[in-house]
Amino acid sequence: MNRLTSLLLVLFLALGAGTTAWAQTATKPIRIIMIGAHPDDCDLKGGGTAALLASMGHAVKFVAVTNGDAGHQTMKGKALAKRRFAEAQEAGKRFGVTYDVLDNHDGQLLPDLKTRLQLIKKMREWDADVVIAPRPNDYHPDHRYTGVLVQDAAYMVAVPNVAPETPRLQKNPIFLYFQDHFQRPNPFRPDVAIDITPVYAQKVHALDAHQSQVYEWLPWIGGFLDQVPANKAEQEPWLAKTRATRITPEVRASLEKWYGKDKAAQVQHAEAFEICEYGARPTEDDLKRLFPMLK
């Protein structure tokens, strides 16, 4: 090999090293971690997307930052936490995902260093390509602080001297927000919208595993417990109706962008996500690689 050929090879390799790390996802499973405040939060906000990705052979983990030990009208403490952990594991099986529940008290979450380090460790251990979490504006303090905790971890996952017992991520993940309806200080922006119509029944079946929530606590706190069918056979159809989310004009426009107008018009159920300004900044091609159902 002559000197000119050697120089050209070095230049070629140097240019190749600068290409986006997300090109690697074309040859290996995508690794997505969804983080919610409570067992059932990820299920409600991203369960359909998780089911689609899992069915395509990609790796999805749900993390509940609290153990849910306060979310019930009659049960509480360790007994409730144990029940909700079991429900989460069953829901994970039905979705085809891994489900972790951290042992932090429900209703007492704070954006402290201890919990931030817990989440940094989870993201690193999962080698996450994508992290999805709530926006930090929400009616529930646990939801808000989960959003803050994930934002606080977004840069630190790549810093080797933070939580050094867990190797840092070599690439910064793409961070996204779950959809919400809150308008202040700014409304949710559906940068990505996923058609989950084909797996909506699967999502409902997985939500059905959270018996303490979907048939007891949430109807009780919402004032419609008397509407829950007593007959088990009628519960999932009822859940499918009550948990169906209206597709807003903004989400419909996002569906049209990603799927085309004709296909978007046929979508009955969707989940949407907003790109967080922290972490890696994805291009449209990156998003198509990370969410292959958009191709």
What average pLDDT does this structure show over 205-210?
98
CA separation (Å) from 293 to 113, 128, 258? 36, 19, 10
Give the burial class of 243: count Cβ atoms within 10 A of its Cβ; 0-12 exposed, 13-18 middle, 19 or more buried: middle
Q: Rounded to whole angstroms, how far apart are CA atoms 144 and 136?
A: 4
The answer, yes or no, to whether residue 235 has pLDDT greater than 60, is: yes
Q: Rounded to whole angstroms, how far apart are CA atoms 9 and 148?
A: 45
What's the pLDDT at 10?
A: 36
* Structural domain contains residue 8: no
* Structural domain contains residue 34: yes
Q: What are phi and psi of 138, to 5 degrees?
A: -165, 160
* Structural domain contains residue 272: yes
The answer, yes or no, to whether residue 1 has pLDDT greater than 50, is: no
What's the pLDDT at 26?
A: 55
The number of CA neighbours under 13 Å toward the Cβ of 116 is 16
Name the average pLDDT for the chain: 92
Annotate the chain with three-state secondary structure.
CCHHHHHHHHHHHHHHHCCCHHHHHHCCCCEEEEEECCCCHHHHHHHHHHHHHHHCCCEEEEEECCCCCCCCCCCCHHHHHHHHHHHHHHHHHHHCCEEEECCCCCCCCCCCHHHHHHHHHHHHHHCCCEEEECCCCCCCHHHHHHHHHHHHHHHHCCCCCCCCCCCCCCCCCEEEEECCCCCCCCCCCCCEEEECHHHHHHHHHHHCCCHHHHHHHHHHHHCCHHHCCCCHHHHHHHHHHHCCCCCCHHHHHHHHHHHCHHHHCCCCCEEEEEEEEEECCCCHHHHHHHCHHHC
CA separation (Å) from 161 to 50, 170, 221? 32, 13, 44
Q: Which two tokens stand for residue 101?
A: 């529940």
Please give the residue range of the domain that contains residue 104. 28-294
What's the pLDDT at 295?
A: 76
* Structural domain contains residue 14: no
What is the count of structural domains for the chain?
A: 1
What average pLDDT does this structure show over 5-28?
44
* Structural domain contains residue 253: yes
What's the pLDDT at 259?
A: 98
* Structural domain contains residue 158: yes
* Structural domain contains residue 223: yes
What average pLDDT does this structure show over 13-25?
40
The answer, yes or no, to whether residue 8 has pLDDT greater than 90, is: no
Determine the Cα angle at 275 with ends 194 and 241, to 5°. Answer: 35
CATH number at residue 111: 3.40.50.10320
What's the pLDDT at 42?
A: 98
pLDDT single digits (tens) 121-165:
999 999 999 999 999 999 999 999 999 999 999 999 999 999 999
* Structural domain contains residue 9: no
Closest CA to 65 of 111, 96, 30: 111
> Helix crossing, 232-242 with 200-207: angle to 10°?
120
Q: Rounded to whole angstroms, how far apart are CA atoms 102 and 67?
A: 6
